[in-house]
A and B are shown apart, each in its own frame.
Chain A
Amino acid sequence: MNGSTGSKWIRRPGGCAVALAAAGLLIAGCAQQPAAPPSPAAPPAPAQAAAAPAKPAATAPTPSQTIDPGILETLDRMGSYLRTLQSFELKTNSDSDVILDNDQMAQFSRWATMKVRRPNGLRADIRDDSGDRKILYFNGKTATLFDPDNKFYATVDAPPTLAEMAKVLSERYGIELPVADLFDWDSNRIDAKAIKSADFLGYAEVDGSMTTHFALRQEGVDWQIWVERGASPLPRKLVITSTTEAARPQHSVLLRWNLAPKFGAGDFEFKPPPGAHRIVIRTTEGKVEAPGN
């Protein structure tokens, strides 16, 4: 799995130079070794690194235009691992850039608790920094969006799987789940064709856990993901940068996992409380879908 990219030095913030050793070995090492804090002084390059790692960082490293196959392998392992989780509760904290009309960025935050019970149970409680709350329910047949404050809810037909439901909510209704990519990662292999470049940026601590930090580039989006090292290759942080916008707005998500959640009996079924009103919902095309249609 040795790539032909040789060694590249990339200086991480904090001045710690990290050798990108020839492809696979280092990345494979990321995944299997127990979490150990990297020594900043010693390059973690395994003996197999073909090129001499002595290039000084002063000769500016060229941007990677290649895909480190070890990264794709780690991401596929992450997806496979996610697939094995029959139930989980994921808490997320997101910060998203909005572009103002003077091209200035403003950042808004939200928090979500997402309960998933495979194959087709999902409940997301979302709260944003304005205090607005929404609860999304999915039961394999319908998806319901409920606002506990004004008690309006809308229910739509949904496909039977989490991944398809996420896609329909996004494309048809403009509703994004807190980590919308989660159900693509755990249902598909990473599409290497879509990826223009992928770099390993070293080990990083996120929320107390050691992770491998990857930076990838695709059409219209640069993204970074921090995958937990060790036995549970979970995504711990995600940063998505929109490159179609000159202002390059970012969306970042911190993920906290509970792999042994306790669910209530009615968690995934929406029961309209007294005073709740079912209302219509607009599609992204502007069509209005009314109850009973």
Chain B
Amino acid sequence: MSAMALKSPDRLELLQGTLDMIILRTLLLGRAHGHEIARHIQRTTEDLLQVEHGSLYPALHRLERRGWVAGKWEKASERNREYKYYRLTVAGRKQLLREQSKWEQLAGAIGRLLAAGQEEES
């Protein structure tokens, strides 16, 4: 995903496909519209990961097309306005699990690799 933004050097560049996982993970908490998702990602990662809002929508629509999320125009709870709320589908939940375990394996492997390097160094 080349649309990932790097606003400052200490912000992390997202690996390809990671945005999808993050969106799915966000929706695990319940329905959310695009703006809420963007805000949520920024808050929970303490602005470390900043998603360019523009890249969120192609990702959402892609996920929707694959059937992992379902979008629907619904009234917001606190105000009298309709937004397109996304929800996680059953297939999306499974996909999230798959991605998560893949990510954990990858992270674990890299962690071990780096740890081994440190041992050699010391």
Whether chain B is bound by chain A comes out as no
Q: Which residues does B use to contact A, with CB under 8 Å?
A: none
Q: Which residues does A use to contact B, with CB under 8 Å?
A: none
